[in-house]
Structure 1
Amino acid sequence: MIVCQCAVVSDREVTAAYAGGARTLAQACMATGAGRDCGSCVFSVKRLVCEHGETLALSSTEVHVAAS
Protein backbone atom coordinates (compact mmCIF):
# COMPACT_ATOMS: atom_id res chain seq x y z
CA MET A 1 0.00 0.00 0.00
CA ILE A 2 1.30 3.49 -0.82
CA VAL A 3 1.71 5.58 2.35
CA CYS A 4 3.35 8.63 0.74
CA GLN A 5 1.69 9.79 -2.46
CA CYS A 6 4.25 12.54 -3.13
CA ALA A 7 7.30 10.26 -3.13
CA VAL A 8 5.40 7.03 -3.95
CA VAL A 9 6.65 5.25 -0.83
CA SER A 10 5.00 1.97 0.13
CA ASP A 11 4.49 0.37 3.50
CA ARG A 12 7.02 -2.27 2.44
CA GLU A 13 9.66 0.43 1.99
CA VAL A 14 8.98 1.76 5.49
CA THR A 15 9.22 -1.78 6.85
CA ALA A 16 12.52 -2.25 5.02
CA ALA A 17 13.80 1.04 6.47
CA TYR A 18 12.90 -0.23 9.95
CA ALA A 19 14.72 -3.50 9.25
CA GLY A 20 17.68 -1.39 8.15
CA GLY A 21 17.80 0.46 11.46
CA ALA A 22 15.34 3.36 11.15
CA ARG A 23 13.81 3.59 14.63
CA THR A 24 12.30 7.07 14.57
CA LEU A 25 9.89 8.87 12.32
CA ALA A 26 12.64 11.16 11.05
CA GLN A 27 14.94 8.22 10.28
CA ALA A 28 12.19 6.37 8.42
CA CYS A 29 11.35 9.47 6.40
CA MET A 30 14.98 10.16 5.56
CA ALA A 31 15.54 6.54 4.53
CA THR A 32 12.48 6.34 2.29
CA GLY A 33 11.90 9.90 1.09
CA ALA A 34 8.44 9.97 2.66
CA GLY A 35 7.23 13.15 4.32
CA ARG A 36 9.46 15.54 2.40
CA ASP A 37 6.79 17.34 0.39
CA CYS A 38 3.38 17.86 1.95
CA GLY A 39 3.95 15.85 5.14
CA SER A 40 0.46 14.37 5.25
CA CYS A 41 1.89 10.84 5.40
CA VAL A 42 3.95 11.26 8.57
CA PHE A 43 1.24 9.79 10.80
CA SER A 44 0.99 6.71 8.58
CA VAL A 45 4.77 6.33 8.57
CA LYS A 46 4.82 6.73 12.37
CA ARG A 47 2.12 4.07 12.74
CA LEU A 48 4.13 1.62 10.63
CA VAL A 49 7.30 2.19 12.64
CA CYS A 50 5.35 1.82 15.91
CA GLU A 51 3.85 -1.45 14.70
CA HIS A 52 7.37 -2.82 14.59
CA GLY A 53 7.87 -2.34 18.31
CA GLU A 54 9.06 1.19 18.84
CA THR A 55 7.04 3.80 20.70
CA LEU A 56 7.65 7.18 19.15
CA ALA A 57 6.89 10.61 20.47
CA LEU A 58 5.75 12.74 17.56
CA SER A 59 7.54 15.97 18.34
CA SER A 60 7.31 19.08 16.23
CA THR A 61 11.05 18.72 15.57
CA GLU A 62 10.59 15.28 14.02
CA VAL A 63 7.72 16.47 11.85
CA HIS A 64 9.78 19.46 10.71
CA VAL A 65 12.80 17.27 9.91
CA ALA A 66 10.64 14.68 8.17
CA ALA A 67 8.83 17.26 6.09
CA SER A 68 11.96 19.11 5.00
Structure 2
Amino acid sequence: MPGSPPSDSLSEIRTAKAAMETTILQAVNAFEVKAGLLVTGIVVSHNGAVLISCTAAVALVL
Protein backbone atom coordinates (compact mmCIF):
# COMPACT_ATOMS: atom_id res chain seq x y z
CA MET A 1 0.00 0.00 0.00
CA PRO A 2 1.34 3.46 -0.82
CA GLY A 3 2.44 5.41 2.23
CA SER A 4 2.80 2.33 4.44
CA PRO A 5 6.17 1.60 5.97
CA PRO A 6 7.74 -1.45 4.27
CA SER A 7 7.92 -3.36 7.56
CA ASP A 8 4.12 -3.29 7.86
CA SER A 9 3.73 -4.71 4.37
CA LEU A 10 6.24 -7.47 5.08
CA SER A 11 4.52 -8.27 8.35
CA GLU A 12 1.14 -8.49 6.62
CA ILE A 13 2.58 -10.72 3.91
CA ARG A 14 4.17 -13.02 6.51
CA THR A 15 0.92 -13.20 8.48
CA ALA A 16 -1.12 -13.99 5.37
CA LYS A 17 1.43 -16.59 4.24
CA ALA A 18 1.41 -18.29 7.65
CA ALA A 19 -2.39 -18.36 7.70
CA MET A 20 -2.49 -19.81 4.20
CA GLU A 21 0.10 -22.48 5.07
CA THR A 22 -1.87 -23.44 8.19
CA THR A 23 -5.08 -23.73 6.16
CA ILE A 24 -3.36 -25.87 3.53
CA LEU A 25 -1.83 -28.15 6.18
CA GLN A 26 -5.21 -28.56 7.88
CA ALA A 27 -6.87 -29.42 4.57
CA VAL A 28 -4.14 -31.94 3.70
CA ASN A 29 -4.36 -33.55 7.15
CA ALA A 30 -8.15 -33.80 6.95
CA PHE A 31 -7.90 -35.32 3.47
CA GLU A 32 -5.30 -37.86 4.62
CA VAL A 33 -7.49 -38.90 7.56
CA LYS A 34 -10.56 -39.31 5.34
CA ALA A 35 -8.59 -41.18 2.66
CA GLY A 36 -7.00 -43.43 5.29
CA LEU A 37 -10.37 -44.30 6.79
CA LEU A 38 -11.83 -44.90 3.34
CA VAL A 39 -8.99 -47.28 2.43
CA THR A 40 -9.40 -49.04 5.78
CA GLY A 41 -13.11 -49.43 5.11
CA ILE A 42 -12.45 -50.90 1.64
CA VAL A 43 -9.76 -53.29 2.89
CA VAL A 44 -11.99 -54.72 5.62
CA SER A 45 -15.21 -54.57 3.62
CA HIS A 46 -15.41 -58.37 3.77
CA ASN A 47 -16.40 -58.03 7.44
CA GLY A 48 -19.75 -56.27 7.63
CA ALA A 49 -19.41 -55.29 11.30
CA VAL A 50 -15.95 -53.78 10.77
CA LEU A 51 -17.16 -51.89 7.70
CA ILE A 52 -20.02 -50.40 9.69
CA SER A 53 -17.65 -49.22 12.42
CA CYS A 54 -15.31 -47.70 9.81
CA THR A 55 -18.25 -45.97 8.14
CA ALA A 56 -19.24 -44.53 11.51
CA ALA A 57 -15.66 -43.30 12.03
CA VAL A 58 -15.67 -41.66 8.59
CA ALA A 59 -19.01 -40.01 9.35
CA LEU A 60 -17.57 -38.57 12.57
CA VAL A 61 -14.57 -37.15 10.70
CA LEU A 62 -16.68 -35.67 7.92
Higher RCO structure, 1 or 2 (CA under 8 Å, sep 6+): 1
Whether these two folds match at TM > 0.5 is no
More helix by share: 2
TM-score using structure 2 length: 0.29
